[in-house]
A and B are shown apart, each in its own frame.
Chain A
Amino acid sequence: MFEKTGIPSRDMIMEKFPSMDRINKGPAAIVECYRQIPCNPCETACRFKAIRVGEDINNIPQINFDKCMGCAICLSKCPGLAIMIADGSKSEDTVEIKIPYEFLPLPEEGQLVKGLNREGAYITDVKVLKVTNPKSFDRTPVITIEVDRKFLYEIRNIRVEV
């Protein structure tokens, strides 16, 4: 189905996530690169050598969650916008998720926006904690949102209503 719709299955998504224990320890990158394409900026961007693509740039990136610091540099460098960061260390009820968002208007910090799943369907309202858009991110702003834990594997996008 993924090849027909662009929507990954739950199993595919789960395979890219680290364990809950790992997420509860601190931020980790989830690299949703499901099919081989010739591309390796995630590997070159990572200062901690946590992402490995290897000699053949068509390989699917492999992430070492022991080395990943969740710094989000790879997130801003991924041409496919396929990377998000999840951090469960801040609260027992919620997780913090970082996603790329290249649309206007950008949300405001503290604003409630619509949380969307990988189909673009509305799931729940989420709170915007931070909007990061430094020059080094090259016009790919990163939005940090606070998400109810039960939606950790679902929320992947936001809609900012004007």
Chain B
Amino acid sequence: MDNSVPHSRLHADDVTIGYDRQVISSNLSVAIPDGSFTVIVGANACGKSTLLRALARLIKPSAGQIVLDGKAISDYPAREVARRLGLLPQSSIAPDGITVADLVARGRYPHQSFLQQWSDADEAAVIAAMKATHITALSHRRVDELSGGQRQRVWIAMVLAQETPLLLLDEPTTYLDITHQIELMELLRALNQRGGKTVTAVLHDLNQACRYGTHLIAMRDGAVVAEGAPRNIMTAELVEAVFGLACVIIEDPIAHTPLVIPRGAPTPVAGV
């Protein structure tokens, strides 16, 4: 067991990650606090999605390791990881003509075996997942005829049906209009607070990150610049350092969390 991060079931220990021979992050250490709604923010190509993919075991660090429940994640059988950690990737393909309930049911795969392919538990999990995401009434519809917001809820239902204590989401609000974005963020918050899940999401919208996140990880050039509660770390200096954007921070009049107001034309990032 790693005692330096006692309250984190999932953490990266001194990892070097990237694609092929291109290193995105080196010697990166990040912990996802248990029970948190962690949001990873940063400019495009800062390595936030890469970190998330490494945490989800989609890419293997070339050095260091990702630790899940005290053991290197690479030491687990793939199915065992899938029973503890759910991931909503950036792009998933709904098989042609699949119905909502059929797609959600696919999230049960890691719990099934040759003998058990549709147990009472499977059925209960699918019903609960559809209820939590408010898609029960859509269950018979074809996924390809739903709106973008509905479709994203279906994918989340599939990940929920997986019944994992840890949930990772890679830019889940992309392609959604503002109403559906907020709806989705409220859903994720409910899953975190009432469902007891540790939620980790990569987000673009800083204000949503501040409003809904309980723990923020700000990244630049593959390294963590700051992490902590949004209230404690979100400053104009941080936004300037991470995004190269001049701004003022005021208090969100509704949620009383930091609200980022850009000043105007971005100043160039130092060294670029």
Mutual binders A and B: no
